Amino acid sequence: MSDFVLVHGAWHGAWCWRRVLPGLWAAGHRAFAVSLSGVGERAHQLTPQVGLSTHIDDVAAVIEAEELQRCILVGHSYAGMVITGVAQRQAERIARLVYLDASLPQPGEAWSSAHTPETQAQRRATIARLGHLPASPPDVFGLQAEDAAWVARRMTPQPGGSYDEPLDFDAARIAALPRTFIDCTDPALPTIDRSRRRVRAEPGWQVLEIPTGHDAMVSAPDALLRQLLSLA
C-alpha cells in the first residue's frame, strides 16, 4: 500500500481528482487530494496575500496531520512549485515526486519565471488591478464539450500572490529523491515546454507520456491512474 498526496494546479481544487481517486482507493492505496488556500472549496480564503509559501504550508500540513511517512507527492501544473517546496521541508517523508505536466523550478525561480515577458506583463497588470488571476478558459487545457463545461463551472480565481513569489531550495536535496515527470503531449501546453526540455536534459528523471491535454486527470483519468499505480 502507498500513500498518495495529490495537489492541483492553478484555478483548480481537490475536485479535479474526482475521476482518479476511486481507482487509487480500489487498488488499496490511501490518497489525499488537497485544496490549496484561496481556490476550490477554499475560494472564500482568497486574498492578495495568499502565495506560494501559503500553499506549501497547506500541503505540508496534510502530510503532518495524516502522519504520512513515505508518500508519493503529485503536483499538477503550478503545483510543481508547491511540491518542490514541500520536498525541501519534508524530504524524509516523501518516497517520490511526480510532476504532472508541471512547473519545474530552479532555485530562486517563481511560477512566472517560465512565462514569456508578454505573459508576465499581462498577468502582473491583472494582479495589480484585481489582486488575483481570473481562470483561463478550459480549452487552453485541451478540454472539450462536457469536460470543458465541468471544469469551467468549478474553476476559481488564482491568488495573485502565487505568481511572482520565488522558491529557494537546495537542488541537490530535491534531486536525491526519485522524480517522475508525466508529459501531457496532445495538445502540449506551451507554458510547460521549459519543464519538458529540462527533464529530458537532466539526469535522474523518469519521463512518462500521456497523449492528452494538460488536465489529464479530467481528460484521461484511466491512463493517468495506470501511470500512478505503476509508481506505487
- Residue 77 annotated in active site: yes
Query: pLDDT tens for residues 13-37?
Result: 999 999 999 999 999 999 999 999 9
Q: Which of 2, 35, 37, 77 is catalytic?
A: 77
pTM, whole model, 2 decimals?
Answer: 0.97
* Nearest CA among 169, 182, 179 for reference residue 213: 182
Walk along the chain (232 residues) in steps of 10 and give the mean pLDDT of each run.
Answer: 97 98 98 98 95 98 97 98 98 98 97 95 97 95 96 98 98 98 96 96 97 98 98 96
Would you call 91 helix, strand, or coil by DSSP?
Answer: helix
Boundaries of every domain in the chain = 3-231
Q: Which DSSP helix (H) or strand (E) runs through 127?
A: helix 117-130
Q: Which of 80-91 are b and which e, b meaning 16 or more Cβ less than 10 Å from the residue's Cβ?
A: bbbbbbbbbbbe
Is 11 within 8 Å of 20 (Cβ atoms)? no
- What is the chain's mean pLDDT, rounded? 97
Q: Which DSSP helix (H) or strand (E) runs through 209?
A: strand 205-210
Is 178 within 8 Å of 95 (Cβ atoms)? yes
Is 19 within 8 Å of 217 (Cβ atoms)? yes
Q: Please determine, looking at this structure, whether the domain spanning 3-231 carries the CATH number 3.40.50.1820.
A: yes
